[in-house]
Structure 1
């Protein structure tokens, strides 16, 4: 549900404004209304740029630090110092990395000549003998050079001949330029490369250790900077009146926090007004649900927060999403795996992430129960096992009578009809609350036609009512619904226009509802696909067991079962999350009229310096 809000209006003397903001900020419950009464100043722009730098650096540091983030906030170390030190370490690694390409080039150039001592070459030159290095193609090479210039072939490679000449003076008769080789020998170059690689490895280790030790410090600095940004934004959102002598500020508070806010305002002597939020107000949204529904608020926020005049969809989203997830998984054994995995990760993950494991455990419980009802456990049909009949009677398996339709497919369609019926009920009630009963007659007409028709059809199908009664019930429901749909859908328009609009709505509803209901077949299809794939892995594993013999057979059988079902669980979890989310965001939200354009409650607060 949505927490009720109160609208606050403050009038503060400009000299007391800074002190008042600190008091409100310390209270940490007031959501400031953003009006953007002033342009973004240079200081705020610098803060915004610095925040972007902090965020980018923090993301990079978290990636390098890995899972080891046990270090706490370091006292006496600022976020700017952390960023500067991180950039220095990165620059050092880049400088070392830039040396490797040149070293590789020099090594490749020297490898054709082998490892020789440049000192000996220089001694020969001091003695008057010049050793020069050349390269030419095989066609260009002249055998006479060996006698004329003491040419010595060193290596033939890729159609080229590499040779040296030893002459009593600088060689002048050869019509080609000597090669310019690196001044270090091959062994020296290889040693330099190995040393550089070790330095890079050590620098990367130092960088990782630095990130692990300073991530929390930068994260805290980012929070402090965000607090400064929030404070500057509040100042920009303040309206100066009476030639700047008085400052007007507006905000919102939850009704539960009204006493403490009143106490603070009364003690400060600030003039203020408090009133209840109305449906027309764009009040911020603070969700308040029980422990079960609270786990699913993250899904509501993924789509968008409700408007203040709308209903919180989370209490309805929670059970149906769990049901959809379990139906798509469709395997009791996989549910048990999710429960075990949730408990294990809950102990190992951080406190913020361990809360998500409660959702995993809950979905695992739903999957275990629904999987048992659907009669599948690790790809094995429970209905075919020798189980007591009182257990099998709760399983929904097999065909419907003498038809070729599966009971599980019918169950998926029934769930879809119920889900959409609830969505239409929520829409009719929501429009009545927001706009009044007269303005929502069309929604009530469609609700009566669809839900009433489904109820009467179900009662007639199970022979609870006679055919004569059901016929008259359909006539009455259709007649009453037609009045709301075709004649009274908008009391401010001409009747003929209403009839035309009603016909258009009829076309959209007829095609839309049929497609929406058929979308729920995906629940049956995904559950069936997962169960069949699990069964295939079982058959493959035991076929290998029979073929490989008793010793290796059980080994390969176990490996195939573990790998196969792990892969199947991973794929099933992905589809079991995405498709129920689609059924909620598309089919349910569309038919319930949910917009999700509300603003989340974000109180103006401070971060304690640790």
Structure 2
């Protein structure tokens, strides 16, 4: 359900405004009406920019995050400390980046020098002082012939990867160009020296990496503390901005909404503090009233589904408790396997038991969906791709031959419920007379369906009941065709009724057939699971085949791998299909028939986090 809201107006003297806002924040129940854009204020834009900076810093630290977390000894108290923290983190990350670059350069230089072996660069300098030059070359091995070696008087040093590395001794200042050979710069350091430098650089980098990993445990909480500080400052500044200045800017007018249940305590606290306020009326058609949903433990887990599309507006009803059982049923039918449902339920239960506080509604949703899928899967007769004995029993109502028709019938039930909810909503918004035509269409469809569908299922209605259903259908036709727009000419209403008949007939056919996907997707998952089972068992030698014990062991190991891989893929595909398609049926077929408008703005009270 949607919590009822009270609207309040506050008139505050300008010198008391800051204290008044602190009082409101401590109460933590007022949703402030936002009439001004906070992005127009440079100070608030700066806070948003800094929060983005924090997110970027956390993203940069992600590779160094481990399971352990150091307890936060002192939260960040002000922006100066936060900025210093980010500067420290960026400095350490920069130091590691510089070390990576230096290490990469040293490794590259060592790779280039390694073919020349352990030589002394000082000896090359001594040759130069004596009037000789030593040039370094490389050439493809196929071209390093004996004739080439004799002609140019070169000395091979190493042969690596199809190339020959050699040196050429010549007089200082003589040409150093050799045909088809590539000149290599004279190494300035020996491989021994370079390997020592690489080892030192690797040790320094490992030390820096260890430091980063250890410090990140603390930095995570410190950054979260700094982000929370900025968030509280931003919400306070945004709320302060909403005050409308009156009487030469000496008074400020602020408006907002408070849940009706919290209103008495809220009013008492403000009266005790001596602040002036008044409850004012509001028009939900022209104002976006904040929406807070209030449901039981079961429906609360499905509020996530409602929020994926849109919250209802204040003039509608919260349909979470209506879509929850259908969504759970649709999920189970698309999953089509009791084993997968049990696996999902077990995993979500495990993590929910291990969670320490926080919002576990998504895990609760997984438990309900997994549990529902297990029950539906057992009814449909499938568990881990194995068909249970009753799955093809002709006398069993949920056998696979009947599932397509059952899917359509379930869809019709949800569609008719949607039309009834749409009529109820119209009655709330415009008056009960405007809802009569909607109810009439629902009664007409139900009566006609019972009259003509039950006999085909070999169910005979008593004659009086049939007459009553005909009477309900006839009365519904009169209301639907001549009273669909109260206050208008009956002939105009008749024309509207004809158009509604076309819309209802075409829409009902297309919408109901869309529910066949429940049967098709569940059947596909079951077939895939069965195929993987057959592939797995084909790896195991048949009994009595004379295969060795080793063959049986290898066969069962291969079968286990095929089962894990195959059912893992099938489970993932089933999860996606079983979530997406029920969403589609809910947000398209059901919401359309229930005339869902949405557009609700979530209730976000002004409070300190």
Give yes or no for TM over 0.5.
yes
Residue of structure 2 aligned with 1:512, choices 494, 507, 510: 507
Deviations, residues 40-66 of structure 1 (Å, cap 9, x unaligned): 322112111112212333344456425
- Kindly tell me: are residues 509 and 165 of structure 1, through their superposed partners in 2, closer, same or farther at Cα, counting changes over 3 Å? same
Q: Which moved more, 1:56-65 or 1:1-10?
A: 56-65
**Cα offset for 1:214?**
1.9
The whole-number CA distance in structure 1 between the counterparts of 2:342 and 2:417 is 30
Residue of structure 2 aligned with 1:290, choices 296, 318, 321: 296
SS of equivalent residue, structure 1 residue 352: coil
**Cα offset for 1:142?**
12
Deviations, residues 372-405 of structure 1 (Å, cap 9, x unaligned): 211122222222699xx9xx9876215xxxxxxx
- Aligned 8 A contact 1:37 1:238 in 2: no
- Aligned 8 A contact 1:413 1:520 in 2: yes
- Gap regions ≥5 residues in structure 2: none
- Aligned 8 A contact 2:381 2:391 in 1: no
- Aligned 8 A contact 1:153 1:164 in 2: yes
Whether 2:300 is the aligned partner of 1:263: answer no
Q: What residue number does 1:16 align with?
A: 16
Q: What residue number does 1:45 align with?
A: 45
- Kindly tell me: are residues 496 and 205 of structure 1, through their superposed partners in 2, closer, same or farther at Cα, counting changes over 3 Å? farther
The normalised TM-score by structure 2 is 0.86
Residue of structure 1 aligned with 2:383, choices 377, 380, 396: 377
SS of equivalent residue, structure 1 residue 210: helix
Q: What residue number does 2:480 align with?
A: 484
Deviations, residues 304-360 of structure 1 (Å, cap 9, x unaligned): 111011110110121111111111122222222223222222233453364432222
SS of equivalent residue, structure 1 residue 10: strand
Q: What residue number does 1:575 align with?
A: 577
The whole-number CA distance in structure 1 between the counterparts of 2:176 and 2:565 is 73
Residue of structure 1 aligned with 2:461, choices 455, 465, 471: 465
The normalised TM-score by structure 1 is 0.86
**Cα offset for 1:113?**
3.6
Q: What residue number does 1:227 align with?
A: 232
The whole-number CA distance in structure 2 between the counterparts of 1:9 and 1:189 is 75
Deviations, residues 132-151 of structure 1 (Å, cap 9, x unaligned): 33568999999999789854
- Kindly tell me: are residues 394 and 499 of structure 1, through their superposed partners in 2, closer, same or farther at Cα, counting changes over 3 Å? same
The whole-number CA distance in structure 2 between the counterparts of 1:317 and 1:283 is 23
Q: Which moved more, 1:94-103 or 1:284-293?
A: 94-103
- Kindly tell me: are residues 37 and 199 of structure 1, through their superposed partners in 2, closer, same or farther at Cα, counting changes over 3 Å? closer
The whole-number CA distance in structure 2 between the counterparts of 1:606 and 1:472 is 62
**Cα offset for 1:514?**
1.7
Residue of structure 1 aligned with 2:418, choices 423, 426, 432: 423
The whole-number CA distance in structure 2 between the counterparts of 1:172 and 1:279 is 92
Whether 2:91 is the aligned partner of 1:88: answer yes
Q: What residue number does 2:362 align with?
A: 356
Residue of structure 1 aligned with 2:333, choices 327, 337, 358: 327
The whole-number CA distance in structure 2 between the counterparts of 1:463 and 1:208 is 72
Q: What residue number does 1:307 align with?
A: 313
1:70-109 alignment runs, 5 A limit: 70-75=69-74, 77=76, 78-103=81-106, 105-109=108-112
Q: What residue number does 1:532 align with?
A: 527
The whole-number CA distance in structure 2 between the counterparts of 1:182 and 1:159 is 21
- Kindly tell me: are residues 51 and 496 of structure 1, through their superposed partners in 2, closer, same or farther at Cα, counting changes over 3 Å? farther
Q: What residue number does 1:403 align with?
A: none
**Cα offset for 1:240?**
0.5
- Gap regions ≥5 residues in structure 1: 399-405
Q: Which moved more, 1:347-356 or 1:417-426?
A: 347-356
- Kindly tell me: are residues 141 and 538 of structure 1, through their superposed partners in 2, closer, same or farther at Cα, counting changes over 3 Å? closer
The whole-number CA distance in structure 2 between the counterparts of 1:62 and 1:187 is 36
Deviations, residues 168-188 of structure 1 (Å, cap 9, x unaligned): 533258699975334122343
Q: What residue number does 2:136 align with?
A: 133
- Kindly tell me: are residues 173 and 432 of structure 1, through their superposed partners in 2, closer, same or farther at Cα, counting changes over 3 Å? closer
The whole-number CA distance in structure 1 between the counterparts of 2:395 and 2:63 is 52
SS of equivalent residue, structure 2 residue 540: helix
- Kindly tell me: are residues 590 and 246 of structure 1, through their superposed partners in 2, closer, same or farther at Cα, counting changes over 3 Å? same
Q: What residue number does 2:168 align with?
A: 165
The whole-number CA distance in structure 2 between the counterparts of 1:363 and 1:137 is 67
Q: What residue number does 2:3 align with?
A: 3
Residue of structure 2 aligned with 1:412, choices 396, 407, 410: 407
Q: What residue number does 1:35 align with?
A: 35
1:164-203 alignment runs, 5 A limit: 164-171=167-174, 179-203=184-208
Q: Which moved more, 1:35-44 or 1:509-518?
A: 35-44
